[in-house]
Amino acid sequence: MAATCTFVLCEEEREADKATIVQFSNGTIQNADRLDFAFYKSVDEANPKKRLRRMLVAESDRLSYVGSNFGTGSFRCASLCNYYVGVLNKTTMEMELHSAQLFKMQPCIPGESTEIDKSQDAHIQTYREKLDSLTEAFGTVRQKRALSSRRLNDVGKETLQKAMTKAASDVIDHKGLEALKEELSQGSSQIDFTLYLPPRNPDADRPKDVYAFDDLLSPAEYESLADGGLQMAALTPEELQIMKEEKKNLSVLKLLESLPSEGEAREKTLRCAFYLNMLLKFGKQDGKFTSKKDGCPSIIHKKMRNDFAVQCFKKGWFNSVVSPATRAKLTAHCLALLLHVGSMCADLTLLQRDLNVAESWITKVAKAMGLTLSKTVKGAPRDEHKIAFLILPLVKYAQSSERGAFKRRR
């Protein structure tokens, strides 16, 4: 009759008591007694990824072997499974189970890097570097010449970039960031605003034909604003009061507070109010405007990106940025839109606050459009508002070359 045995789990073991199973990659060791084994563990026990790293070293008179439980040279199965070694007590016929550690021993030849170092180097090396290495070894003369030329260009670009970075840092340290911003604003004030006006017909017989509404919004774009008009009409008095208290998009709020009672004029004002609201958000967010959040139609979002922003390439992506020139175009577009829904009258002060531009900026835009300007006091005392009117014939202004200001011709 065959003998039977029972399994007995041993008590909690210390790491030093765990069984160690080794496998030599280059063959079988005949005289294992002649090997001196040394066991090492990571000193960084605070790091959870490194505290379990172990390394086993075996040395003989002729060769040394190294094995570890991490890296490409280790057994992948060791991190996925728990291994045990059974030790049979032939007297009691009980088999004790002990935890086991697996190590793959590889010969370590002096003068050559270990497999771990090779794996780290291969991980750091990029695909381009690997391809360049193959070109150096097996490429044709033409390919090698192209590789050498590209490397020289890369060195030149890197040197130029470092020089530009150093020069920019020196300028910022010398002048200061605020002084540079002031110089930038002064440079943007020299923009010729007449180049960024909407299509204009100065010989028109009626004021509304000077800046035609169809040139501001095409019929397809106007139809896409139907849902936006309903969204504006659904605003409650409480929501309008919140807009007034937060002083956000005051030009839009003024349109909603003076809505026509009914008819086509009311629908046109609601759609233009929604469109103006999108334009103001687009300008405030410097072109980083998402259409889905506010229900902006895709055709309108595309129009704003194409007409009132420039595309710049940064960190691998194309981003929309509102430059001083496109901001001037946006300001003139908003002003022309307000004239159409405001009986050829627009509040420049409210639009200036909505777009967060200087008073001189929006005044230059209005004068470039040939509008008649006047001042009036509204609301609080000394709250003076500048009003623009489109009156035929258009007013012609002359720019002074000395002070950069506008004067009316007599």
For residue 32, the 8-state DSSP code is G
User: For residue 173, is it within any domain?
Assistant: no
**Is 385 a residue whose pLDDT tops 90?**
no
Let me know if residue 371 belongs to a domain: yes
Examine residue 244 and state whether it is found in any structural domain, yes or no: yes
Tens of pLDDT, residues 251-285 = 888 888 888 877 888 899 999 999 998 898 888 87
pLDDT at 287: 63
The pairing of beta strand 6-9 with beta strand 94-108: parallel
Q: Quick check: is 374 in a domain?
A: yes
Sign of the dihedral through C-alpha 270, 274, 279, 280: positive
What confidence score (pLDDT) does residue 335 get? 93
In a domain, residue 158? The reply is: no
Same domain as 87, residue 219: no
Q: Are residues 112 and 206 in the same domain?
A: no
In a domain, 313, yes or no: yes
Is residue 259 within 8 A of residue 267, CB to CB? The reply is no
Q: Single out the residue in 96, 117, 138 at which a domain terminates.
A: 117
- Residue 290: pLDDT over 80: no
Burial letters for 158-191: b for 16+ Cβ neighbours within 10 Å, e otherwise? eeeeeeeeeeeeeeeeeeeeeeeeeeeeeeeeeb
Which pLDDT belongs to residue 177? 53
Number of domains in the chain: 2
Q: Are 395 and 283 contained in the same domain?
A: yes
Label residue 70 exposed, middle or buried (CB < 10 Å: 0-12, 13-18, 19+).
Answer: middle
Judge whether residue 204 has pLDDT over 80: yes
Q: Which pTM does this prediction carry? A: 0.53
Does 91 fall in a domain? Answer: yes
Alpha helices in 125-236 (DSSP H): 127-138, 141-175, 177-188, 213-216, 219-224, 226-233
Express each pLDDT in 130-159 by its tens digit. 888 888 888 898 998 888 888 888 877 777
pLDDT grade for 233, boundaries at 50, 70 and 90: confident
What is the reported pLDDT for 337? 92
Whole-number average pLDDT of the chain: 78
Which pLDDT score, from 0 to 100, does residue 78 have?
Answer: 65
pLDDT digits 0-9 by tens, 83-125: 888 888 888 888 888 888 888 888 877 665 554 444 444 445 6
Residue 257: C-alpha distances to residues 141, 242, 358, 387 (Å) = 76, 13, 26, 18
Nearest to 397 by CA among 194, 250, 251: 194
**pLDDT score, position 122:** 46
Domain around 328: 193-408
Among 117, 140, 156, identify where a domain stops: 117
CB 143 within 8 A of CB 135: yes
- Residue 246: which pLDDT band, with cuts at 50, 70 and 90? confident
Identity of residue 134 = L
- pLDDT of residue 235 exceeding 80: yes
Of 21-30, 224-233, 287-296, minimum mean pLDDT range: 287-296
Residue 216 has pLDDT above 80, yes or no: yes
219 and 339 in one domain? yes
Among 85, 117, 149, give the residue marking a domain's end.
117
Q: Count each helix (H run) and each strand (E run) in the chain, helices first.
A: 14, 14
Residue 75 covered by a domain: yes
Residues 6+ apart with CB under 8 A from 234: none
